[in-house]
Amino acid sequence: MAEDKSNAEAYWKANVRLITGCLIVWAFVSYGCAILFRPLLAGIPVGGTDLGFWFAQQGSILTFICLIFFYAWKMNKLDEKFGLGE
Amino acid sequence: MSQFAINLLFVGASFALYIGIAIWARAGSTKDFYVAGGGVHPITNGMATAADWMSAASFISMAGLLASGGYANSTFLMGWTGGYVILAMLLAPYLRKFGKFTVPDFIGDRFYSRAARLVAVICLIVASVTYVIGQMTGAGVAFSRFLEVSNTWGIWIAAFIVFLYAVFGGMKGITYTQVAQYIVLIIAYTIPAVFIAMQLTGNPIPMFGMFSTHTESGVPLLQKLDDVVNALGFRDYTADVDNKLNMVLFTLSLMIGTAGLPHVIIRFFTVPKVADARWSAGWALVFIALLYLTAPAVGSMARLNLMTTVYPEMSGQVENYEEAASNPILYEDRPEWVRTWEETGLITFNDANNDGRIQFYNDGNADFAETAESRGWEGSELTVNNDILVLANPEIANLPGWVIGLIAAGGIAAALSTAAGLLLAISSAISHDLIKTMINPNITEKGEMLAARISMGGAILLATYLGLNPPGFAAQTVALAFGIAGASLFPALMMGIFSKRVNNKGAVAGMLAGLLTTLLYIFTYLGWFFVPETNMLPNTPDNWILGISPLSFGAIGAMFNFAVAYLVSNATEEPPQEIQDLVESVRYPKGAGGAVSH
């Protein structure tokens, strides 16, 4: 039982760590590249405008998709590793 | 065949399909009715979620918002997609593991409190009802434009169709019609966009065309658009915004609002396993992105098409923008599609200086006033409703009549699919949370089924009535529905999963704090209960606290919610052991059965 408990705790910690990492990327591309750091990226041209504009209208959405699939894939591995999957 | 006959054929065929699904997918149990039996494939659910999520506003209005606002309105693109990341990681898998039927179910059980359940039910109903009104009016507009019936009839027809598959099929009927509706709407959205991208840039993929060269002028499309709008006193399309704080908060509010909207969350209760809920969120975003990546291309290209229609000299290589911008077309020479839309009143022309030409420029720009005066212009003479850009796309691009029929069916599909999802969230909150859990726990399975069907019928009647007589708050969907979902429901759900310490008192106090601060801020600028003239401060950026608009306040309300819940919980007793065990159990996928009632 004690072993179960520490195993479950380790699983949850790993999950929270993974979520934190993913959400840092999530915030970086949307609030960062697309909004706050846009002036800093103004020097990088993308099709008639700048990289920040591309992130705001396409880049962040594409990153979001990758993040969710990455998370789902990683979590499946964690489920298996800790024996907590269905 | 006349255009009317073609439209009738397309819309009629799509309705026949939905009714066929309604007959095939009848609900036999409450589990069928609330969660479609719990065995929906993650990709199927992803597609249904995309249709559930993409409303009449996404289909019809978003490209217009982007066309008029340019970069500044990217908030909608990021906000309405970024919410799925937090939904996939912070809510959906655990709520699926919890395994019950509604969002208030989780809040009521986790916070072992009737008050918490009731607050959740009220938040759910207010947010969903606000949202559904826009879908009914949207369907009415689409019907009246394409099928030559009155708005009123349009809304009744829409209500009847939804009634057929939602009352009999519940979530099961809704799920499979949403899949069909997604296919209809995405085809309808993409085809005209591909043609327009081909015409303007030679690139058939709109999202790439937007960032490539404008064929006629040889400069990049977005740069061309900047030059053109600039010559007429408008802000550059790609211009940065000054108030970054507000833009960040607005985006965040839309994201947490998206994640906290009950009609989206309950879609994830229909998949068989926890892992499926994670994959399904990814698929949902893929299907949503097919439209959301096309929308900015449609917006920018439609804006350029519109400007060069009025100023033909600006379309090719332009030596001198000053000169090209001073020669708008004669009103008599306007293209056919402008005439068609003038009839609907969504495009209007008023020849202020009586020269027979269409001057279309930014007459609100003081720096441009001198230039306009020197050209003898006396105000912008053309008004174009943002919503027509998508609807008029096939005509602007000279596409055949069947594409217009497809757009008609697509717009109606977008409105109906979202309306049905919202109606299910409303009716299950009434039949399951209010009747079954709070009023009469001894109700039989059969009795609850009947209650669910009656609630659904009642919700449809209410939505129809409000669609016919839209109240003042209907136009404030973004402020009200997203504000409530983001400031009240999202934090409560997240804390319920990620904290074992937050107790009943903390959760109720937090939800009320988030809800009330958000409503107070919104009502201060938009009027008490949205009654005009009752606002205490004018709704302009100089009056907003720190430049934060009422639409962006949901994120701040959520912070109040988190803070109050944390403080109150820590000042009071720990939740009982069985609740802490419940939190443990939702965190681990092991042992998830199908969704159960109790």
pLDDT per position as a tens digit, B120-151: 999 999 999 999 998 998 888 888 878 888 88
In a domain, B415, yes or no: yes
Q: What is the structure's pLDDT at B596? A: 52
Same domain for B361 and B466? no
pLDDT per position as a tens digit, B480-518: 999 999 999 999 999 999 999 999 999 999 999 999 999
Centre a 10 Å sphere on the Cβ of residue B170 and count the other Cβ atoms it contains.
31
In a domain, B377, yes or no: yes
3-class DSSP assignment, residue B567: helix
- Pair of tokens at residue A30: 């949307």
Model's pTM, two decimal places? 0.95
Q: What's the structural domain count of chain B?
A: 2
- Which chain B residue is nearest to residue A73, measuring alpha carbons? B279
Q: What is the structure's pLDDT at B435? A: 94
Spatial separation of the C-alpha atoms in residues A76 and A83, rounded to whole Å = 10
Spatial separation of the C-alpha atoms in residues B588 and B94, rounded to whole Å = 8
Same domain for B136 and B174? yes
Chain B residues touching A58 at Cβ < 8 A: 207, 293, 296
In a domain, B9, yes or no: yes
Looking at residue B266, what DSSP letter applies? G
H/E stretch holding A41:
none
- Which chain A residue is nearest to residue B71, measuring alpha carbons? A53
Per the CB < 8 A criterion, the answer to whether B477 and B126 are in contact is: no
3-class DSSP assignment, residue B220: strand
Same domain for B297 and B352? no
In a domain, B311, yes or no: no
3-class DSSP assignment, residue B224: helix
Centre a 10 Å sphere on the Cβ of residue B343 and count the other Cβ atoms it contains.
8
Using the beta-carbon criterion (under 8 Å), do A85 and B590 form an inter-chain contact? yes
Question: Which of B455, B471, B487 corresponds to the end of one domain?
Answer: B471
pLDDT band, residue B237 (cuts 50/70/90): very high
Spatial separation of the C-alpha atoms in residues B223 and B309, rounded to whole Å = 18
In a domain, B291, yes or no: yes
Higher pLDDT, residue B115 or B387: B115
Chain A residues touching B247 at Cβ < 8 A: 35
In a domain, B548, yes or no: no
Question: Which of B429, B446, B471 corresponds to the end of one domain?
Answer: B471
Question: Which of B414, B443, B471 corresponds to the end of one domain?
Answer: B471
CB pairs under 8 A between A and B: 138
Q: Which domain holds residue B200?
A: 3-301+398-471
Q: Does B290 touch chain A (CB under 8 A)?
A: no
Residue B119 has pLDDT above 80, yes or no: yes
pLDDT per position as a tens digit, B543-591: 999 999 999 999 999 999 999 999 999 999 999 999 999 999 999 998 7
In a domain, B527, yes or no: no
Same domain for B92 and B219? yes
Residue B598 has pLDDT above 80, yes or no: no
Q: What is the mean pLDDT of chain B?
A: 93
Question: Checking DSSP bridges between strand B347-349 and strand A45-46, what pairing results, if any?
Answer: unpaired
Report the number of secondary-structure helices (H) and strands (E) in chain A: 3, 2
Same domain for B359 and B404? no
- Per-residue pLDDT in tens (0 to 9) along chain A, 86 residues: 567 888 999 999 999 999 999 999 999 999 999 999 999 999 999 988 999 999 999 999 999 999 999 999 999 999 999 999 88
Same domain for B338 and B428? no
φ/ψ of residue B330, rounded to 5:
-70, 145
φ/ψ of residue B213, rounded to 5:
-85, 135
Centre a 10 Å sphere on the Cβ of residue B122 and count the other Cβ atoms it contains.
16
Report the number of secondary-structure helices (H) and strands (E) in chain B: 27, 2
Same domain for B275 and B343? no
Using the beta-carbon criterion (under 8 Å), do B590 and A84 form an inter-chain contact? yes
Predicted ipTM?
0.96
Share of chain B above pLDDT 70, in %: 99
Same domain for B439 and B371? no
Using the beta-carbon criterion (under 8 Å), do A75 and B247 form an inter-chain contact? no
Helix, strand, coil in percent for chain A, rounding step 5: 80, 5, 15
In a domain, B542, yes or no: no
Same domain for B26 and B138? yes
Same domain for B333 and B448? no
Q: What is the structure's pLDDT at B411? A: 92
Same domain for B374 and B441? no
pLDDT per position as a tens digit, A60-74: 999 999 999 999 999
Same domain for B364 and B437? no
Q: Which of residues 125-164 of B touch A (CB under 8 A)?
A: none
pLDDT per position as a tens digit, B177-217: 999 999 999 999 999 999 999 999 999 999 999 999 999 99
For residue B256, the domain's CATH number is: 1.20.1730.10
pLDDT band, residue B597 (cuts 50/70/90): very low
